[in-house]
Amino acid sequence: MSCEREPHLPRLPERSEVSAAVLRAILESPKNYVIFALDRGYRYITFNRNHARTMKRIWGVEIAPGRNMLEVIGRADDREKARQNFDRALRGEHFTLVEAYGSEEHERRIYENTYSPILDEQGRVIGLTVFLVDITEETAVRHNLELYQSLVHQALGGREEPEAAAAAAGRQLLVVEDDPVVQRLLRLLLRDLGCEAVVEASSGEEALDQLRRDPEGPGLVLLDLGLPGMSGAATLQVLRRERPGLPVVVLSGDPEAAEGLDADAVLEKPFETRELEALLRRFGALGGSPD
């Protein structure tokens, strides 16, 4: 009996082709996940389309199998953080972290990252996989909800250490915050602290326009990092060029995102009234002399 295939029968794909097709289907099936695998030299073995889109979004680069991922990461601190995490997985650890990655020029996002080693048949670590979920929006929502609760509690319950509001007006404040609820609650809280001279902007572009129209205007800026359009970090860079002596306090729910920024101070969301008051006094935004 002949072992040749009948001409009418379709050719079955080789086992490697089937494995590759199955791997592609697995990688692309979870639509909200970013997945990639690296060898021991941090070079790409494989990745899904979500990862390619993410690297383009936050670093502005195209990736390919065989490319060293560390060479793609544009920030030195992010690069070192990634290398340390990869090395942990290459030592055989399984772990999950919440981390921020990305450039201010493109976009900085917050991810829940799960790292795992890849083992060969002898149990040796030959690489690693990373599964990522982008939690930027839900993190911002959670932080804002915490801030709402904190501000509402303080507005309804009064300050923990009541003091008379400053009688004399301090320096004018510019509050840059896109969330209208947070903006209103901040306005009420600032008024309670004695800050009557408060102007507001809902975006980085609007804030810069206000400052350019009024060079003698605000003497202090409260700047949220999570702004739409021009990010808070990008807005800060422009402020440093155009108004180098203007104090800027960054508001952020993610301490990592504020690291390395040229801000005069960072106020982490959610915050207590006394923390805000201390910063306002420090920069002379309340009546009386700054500390």
Question: What does the alpha-carbon distance between residue 272 and residue 154 come to, in Å, rounded to a whole number?
Answer: 8
Query: In this predicted structure, what is the pLDDT of residue 54?
Result: 87
Q: Which position has the token pair 């060029």?
A: 241
Considering only CA atoms, give the Rg of the chain: 26
Q: Quick one: residue 280, left, alpha or beta (phi over 0 = left, psi -120 to 50 = alpha)? A: alpha
Given a contact cutoff of 8 angstroms between Cβ atoms, the answer to whether 225 and 258 are in contact is yes
pTM beyond 0.85: no
Helix axes 136-157, 180-193, angle to 10 degrees: 30
3-class SS at 241?
Answer: helix
Kindly indicate the confidence band of residue 41, based on its pLDDT and cuts at 50, 70 and 90. very high
pLDDT per residue as tens digits for the range 252-272: 877 777 788 889 999 887 777
pLDDT of the residue at 65:
93
pLDDT of residue 150: 63
Structure tokens, 257:
């995102």
Please tell me the least confidently modeled range out of 22-31, 181-190, 249-258, 282-291: 22-31
* Total Cβ atoms within 10 A of residue 47: 22
Backbone dihedral region for residue 260 (phi beyond 0: left; psi -120 to 50: alpha; all else: beta): left
What the block records as the tokens of 196 is: 């009557």
User: In angstroms, rounded to a whole number, what is the distance separating the alpha carbons of residues 119 and 127?
Assistant: 7
CA-to-CA dists, residue 202 to 135, 178, 269, angstroms: 23, 4, 18
Task: Say whether pLDDT at 71 is over 90.
Answer: yes
Percent of the chain at pLDDT above 90?
29
**Four-way CATH pick for 138-282: 3.40.50.2300, 3.90.550.10, 3.50.50.60, 3.40.50.300:** 3.40.50.2300
Q: Band of the pLDDT at 287, cuts 50, 70, 90?
A: low
Q: Using CA atoms, how far apart are residues 219 and 286, in angstroms rounded to an integer? A: 11
Q: Does residue 90 contact residue 126 with C-beta atoms inside 8 Å?
A: no
Pairing relationship of beta strands 125-134 and 173-176 according to DSSP bridges: unpaired
Superfamily of domain 19-134: PAS domain (3.30.450.20)
Q: What CA–CA distance (Å, rounded) separates 195 from 41?
A: 56
| Strand ranges (E), the chain | 33-39, 44-47, 95-102, 108-119, 125-134, 173-176, 198-201, 220-224, 248-252, 265-268
The top-scoring range by mean pLDDT among 51-55, 79-83, 174-178, 272-276 is 79-83
User: Bigger pLDDT: 18 or 70?
Assistant: 70
With CA atoms as reference, report the closest residue to 143 among 19, 262, 270, 236: 270
Least confident of 104-113, 117-126, 134-143, 264-273: 134-143
CATH 3.30.450.20 range(s) for the chain read 19-134
pLDDT at residue 61 tops 90? yes
Which ranges in the chain are annotated with CATH 3.40.50.2300? 138-282
Q: If you average pLDDT over every residue of the chain, what do you get? A: 78
Which of the pair, 194 or 289, is modelled with greater confidence? 194
Closest-CA residue to 82 (of 92, 91, 72, 93): 72
Question: Which of the four pLDDT bands, split at 50, 70 and 90, describes residue 50?
Answer: confident
pLDDT at 153: 60
Tokens of 44: 């790409």
Q: Would you state the pLDDT for residue 8?
A: 42
- 172-211 confidence digits (pLDDT tens): 889 998 877 677 777 777 877 787 778 888 899 999 998 8
The answer to whether residue 75 scores a pLDDT higher than 70 is yes
User: What is the reported pLDDT for 160?
Assistant: 42
